[in-house]
């Protein structure tokens, strides 16, 4: 409990440096637990691997528990999803303001096992967000759910993230990336090979898409070894999300709840990176470490 409270106070201290306490303008009554305090509690839970809200409310100090009920906490957290992402983006801009090299990749995020996909009602609260079946080539597995698309810097800070149904091909994510990035080099794997998209990105946003060519392609030459090495950074981040932040463990029943869980986990990772940099001046990607 002491560690949870100390971690909560440290994360809240960081968030107060970059934002105000009340993030939603319309509130029916005065809040006992402010918006930023609620977000800090959610980020603390993700950092400490507390993935159950029931378990979280058994551990939090009485001074916090008496200010909000668990069901209210859940509803307010979903309403604050966009604000959580805005906080993540503010921290990402601090890290990536002068970054010229980024990495793009995707990972599968299941909502349930494939055998249950026919009867599952998870995340089917609206037509636009229905999950479906997809295939992950790197893991040689079929899955049911979504793809998490992400762009990170070579130092390991997420710049852009998005969720699409599992059947959406990786290359379609790049069609919108020109609105968020410009004047940079984007490193990708063979799943993003497309001369048409490569030209569009360069003409629209001056983004140079660097992908390794297949051996049987015309004018084949091996990719620059440093680019190949740097591409592994995003794979390491995905592994950390799966291991420490348990991103593949899903308890949500609605898409809003699912999206909020994903955003909270990635924001928690970004906040820990910021604390590593500004408070301790250590490697930002040492995530399994104390932040107090």
Q: What is the pLDDT of residues 95-130, one digit of tens each?
A: 998 899 999 999 999 999 898 988 999 999 888 889
Residue 1: per-residue pLDDT:
41
Q: What is the pLDDT of residues 59-72, one digit of tens each?
A: 888 888 899 999 89
Question: How is residue 265 written in tokens?
Answer: 């986990």
pLDDT at 175 over 90: no
Residue 16: per-residue pLDDT:
93
Residue 4: count of CB within 10 angstroms of its CB: 19
Residue 191: per-residue pLDDT:
85
Range of the domain at 160: 98-253
Residues in CB range of 56: below 8 A, 6 or more apart: 41, 45, 50
5 in a domain, yes or no?
no
Prediction pTM value: 0.93
Q: Give the residue-averaged pLDDT of 121-144.
A: 90
Mean pLDDT of the chain: 89
Q: Binning pLDDT at 50, 70 and 90, where does residue 38 land? A: very high
81 in a domain, yes or no?
no
Q: Are 145 and 166 in contact (CB under 8 A)?
A: yes
pLDDT at 2 over 70: no
72 in a domain, yes or no?
no
Q: How far apart are CA 88 and CA 91, in angstroms?
A: 5
288 in a domain, yes or no?
no
Residue 220: per-residue pLDDT:
65
195 in a domain, yes or no?
yes
Question: How is residue 201 written in tokens?
Answer: 């990105």
Q: Give the residue-averaged pLDDT of 198-226.
A: 80
Q: How many domains does the chain have?
A: 1
225 in a domain, yes or no?
yes
- How many Cα atoms sit within 13 Å of 27 on the Cβ side? 13
Minimal CA–CA distance to 241: which of 3, 64, 49? 49
C-alpha distances in angstroms, 109 versus 105, 113, 134, 166, 248?
A: 13, 11, 10, 8, 6
Residues in CB range of 54: below 8 A, 6 or more apart: 70
pLDDT at 232 over 80: yes
278 in a domain, yes or no?
no
- What CATH number does residue 160 fall under? 3.30.420
289 in a domain, yes or no?
no
Could you tell me which residues are beta bridge partners of residue 160? Answer: 151
Q: How far apart are CA 288 and CA 292, in angstroms?
A: 12
Q: How far apart are CA 161 and CA 149, in angstroms?
A: 6
Residue 26: per-residue pLDDT:
63
Q: How far apart are CA 38 and CA 83, in angstroms?
A: 12
Q: Give the residue-averaged pLDDT of 139-166.
A: 94
pLDDT at 282 over 50: yes
Q: Give the residue-averaged pLDDT of 68-78.
A: 91
């Amino acid at each position: 409990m002491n560690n949870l409270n100390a971690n909560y106070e440290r994360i809240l201290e960081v968030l107060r440096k970059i934002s105000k306490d009340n993030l939603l303008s319309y509130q029916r009554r005065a809040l006992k637990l402010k918006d930023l305090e609620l977000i800090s509690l959610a980020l603390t839970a993700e950092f400490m691997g507390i993935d159950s809200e029931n378990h979280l409310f058994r551990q939090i100090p009485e001074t916090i528990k008496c200010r909000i009920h668990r069901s209210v906490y859940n509803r307010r957290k979903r309403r604050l999803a966009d604000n959580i992402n805005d906080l993540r983006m503010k921290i990402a801009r601090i890290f990536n303001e002068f970054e010229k090299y980024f990495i793009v990749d995707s990972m599968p995020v299941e909502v349930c096992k494939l055998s249950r996909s026919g009867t599952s009602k998870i995340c089917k609260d609206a037509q636009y967000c229905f999950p479906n079946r997809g295939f992950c080539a790197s893991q040689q597995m079929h899955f049911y759910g979504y793809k998490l698309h992400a762009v990170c810097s070579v130092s390991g800070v997420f710049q852009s993230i998005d969720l699409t149904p599992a059947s959406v091909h990786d290359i379609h994510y790049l069609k919108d990336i020109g609105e968020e990035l410009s004047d940079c080099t984007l490193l990708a794997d063979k799943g993003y090979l497309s001369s048409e998209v490569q030209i569009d990105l360069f003409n629209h946003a001056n983004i140079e898409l660097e992908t390794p060519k297949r051996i049987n392609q015309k004018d084949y030459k091996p990719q620059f070894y440093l680019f190949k090495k740097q591409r592994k950074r995003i794979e390491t981040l995905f592994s950390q999300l799966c291991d420490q932040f348990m991103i593949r463990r899903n308890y949500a029943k609605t898409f809003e709840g699912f999206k909020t869980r994903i955003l909270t986990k990635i924001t928690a990772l970004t906040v820990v990176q910021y604390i590593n940099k500004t408070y301790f001046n250590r490697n930002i990607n040492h995530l399994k470490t104390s932040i107090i």
